[in-house]
Amino acid sequence: MNVTVVGGGLAGVEAAYALASRGIKVTLYEMRPQKTTPAHKTENLAELVCSNSLKAMRHDSASGLLKEEMRLLGSLTLKAADAASVPAGGALAVDRRIFSEFITKAIENNPNITLIREEITEIPDTPAIIASGPLTSDKLSEAIKKEIGDNALSFYDAAAPIVRADSIDYDKVFAAARYGRGDDDYINCPFEKEEYEAFYEALISAETAELKEFEKQDFKVYEGCMPIEVMAKRGPDTLRFGPLKPVGLTNPKTGKRPYAVVQLRSEDRDRTNFNLVGFQTNLRFPYQEKVFRMIPGLEKAVFTRYGVMHRNTFLNSPKVLDEYARLKENLYFAGQITGVEGYMESAMSGIVAGINLYRTLNGKDPLKFPKETMIGALNNHISNDYTADFEPMGANMGILPPSEERIKGKKERYTYLADRAIAAMTNFLKEKEI
């Protein structure tokens, strides 16, 4: 039996890897480089386009918990991340090139996987997993709409700009990780109050790139990747309590906590390029240069990539997919197209889809992961028929069932929830012999 997997992003490669690891022959289709997207720059599989951060590693964080659960399932993404990691304090960040090359080689060298560089324009007749991502091509999108009706939602995603390391004014910045987590992994650009206020006014007044007419009709920004200028318009202090929060940082040059801080995270192991953390944007390129050069230390910044914004399409999953993310028997969806938000969340859904398709092909029921686990909670989000509008969801402790007894203290409560989740996952995997 041959299985078709559509899409060479994180979900697609994880799905193909999960199936191939269980002896299933897989044909993996990736349309690049034959057909490109507005966000991708290379032809490598699993190319990271929005950020090089895979978020926190701490056991008592939602992102860290999700990674621990995924490791128990043999995640290829995490093997690549370990091989490509760069210093990022308490976060798991990677060198994008090394990361995607690792995964590409792992897929190309797997004897059970055949990689075909070709666009798929129709839903496959064979058992399949569609993991075409939020940048699904127009033709495949139309085929999906024809199958499910017009039950799709369009959102907008944005990527942050990148600056050259040698263009940073190091006399004005300082190296440190928030709360000392890490080995001075971030470059911090500290604002005084007056500097921040001037920057804020310039940011909310700057011109954004014009949306095409058809894009204006379904324009919707979601929380997980909100453009910095959209966030700023919520109020002057929104950024100071968000991506520019100064807590956990002391400027060694003044001995004080800055009024606000822009953090720069290394894009590669050689630290030649830095990403503006949290600065996803749709500002026109000339305004990105003008406004972001108001950040202390970036007055002469050279941009190796400007921030960009593009439309992403998500299924209204609770309406069209079952509790296992199936459209019909042996046809699964995985990744951001289902409404999980984030790199690791997307990869996770690929693993789950691969395992469940393997099981159904072998006459077994698909798995529903325990609700106490982060994987189970995320899968529950995309399958529950909420009355409110369905929006993408990333890993967060708020979607886990609360503790049976009241626990004081956020850290203690989160540690309990994480311990409970790992115990539930471990017992579940033993019981199901996955």
Answering whether pTM is above 0.85, one says no
262/399 same-domain check: no
From CA 341, how far away is CA 82, in angstroms rounded? Answer: 22
Q: Is the pLDDT of residue 217 over 70?
A: no
**Structure tokens belonging to residue 3:** 């299985």
167/144 same-domain check: no
302/327 same-domain check: no
The pLDDT score that the predictor gives to residue 386 is 54
Measure the CA dihedral 162/163/164/169, to 10°.
Answer: -150
Confirm if 132 and 140 have CB atoms less than 8 A apart.
Answer: yes
147/184 same-domain check: no
The H or E element spanning position 356 is helix 343-361
16/92 same-domain check: yes
Q: Rounded to the nearest 5°, which phi and psi values hold at 67?
A: -65, -40
195/291 same-domain check: yes
Out of 309, 328, 348, a domain closes at 309
Q: b or e along 342-366 (b: 16 or more beta carbons within 10 Å of the residue's beta carbon)?
A: bbbbbbbbbbbbbbbbbbbeeeeeb
Out of 309, 330, 354, a domain closes at 309
273/362 same-domain check: no
From CA 48, how far away is CA 13, in angstroms rounded? Answer: 13
**Structure tokens belonging to residue 32:** 């690049």
Confidence of residue 220 (pLDDT cuts 50, 70, 90): low
The pLDDT score that the predictor gives to residue 130 is 97
Confirm if 28 and 131 have CB atoms less than 8 A apart.
Answer: no
370/255 same-domain check: no
- The predicted-structure confidence for 237-258, as pLDDT tens digits, reads as follows 999 999 999 999 999 999 999 9
Out of 264, 291, 309, a domain closes at 309
297/167 same-domain check: yes
379/246 same-domain check: no
From CA 197, how far away is CA 270, in angstroms rounded? Answer: 34
Q: What does 162-173 look like in DSSP terms, one character per residue?
A: EEEGGGS-TTS-
The pLDDT score that the predictor gives to residue 221 is 62
- The predicted-structure confidence for 188-204, as pLDDT tens digits, reads as follows 999 999 999 999 999 99
Non-local CB neighbours of 429 within 8 Å, separated by 6+ positions: 72, 73
Domain housing 244: 159-309
> Into how many domains does the chain fold?
2
The pLDDT score that the predictor gives to residue 365 is 94
**Helix (DSSP H) and strand (DSSP E) numbers for the chain:** 13, 17
206/235 same-domain check: yes
167/296 same-domain check: yes
Confidence of residue 313 (pLDDT cuts 50, 70, 90): confident
Name the least confident of 267-271, 276-280, 283-287: 267-271
Polymer length in residues for the chain: 434
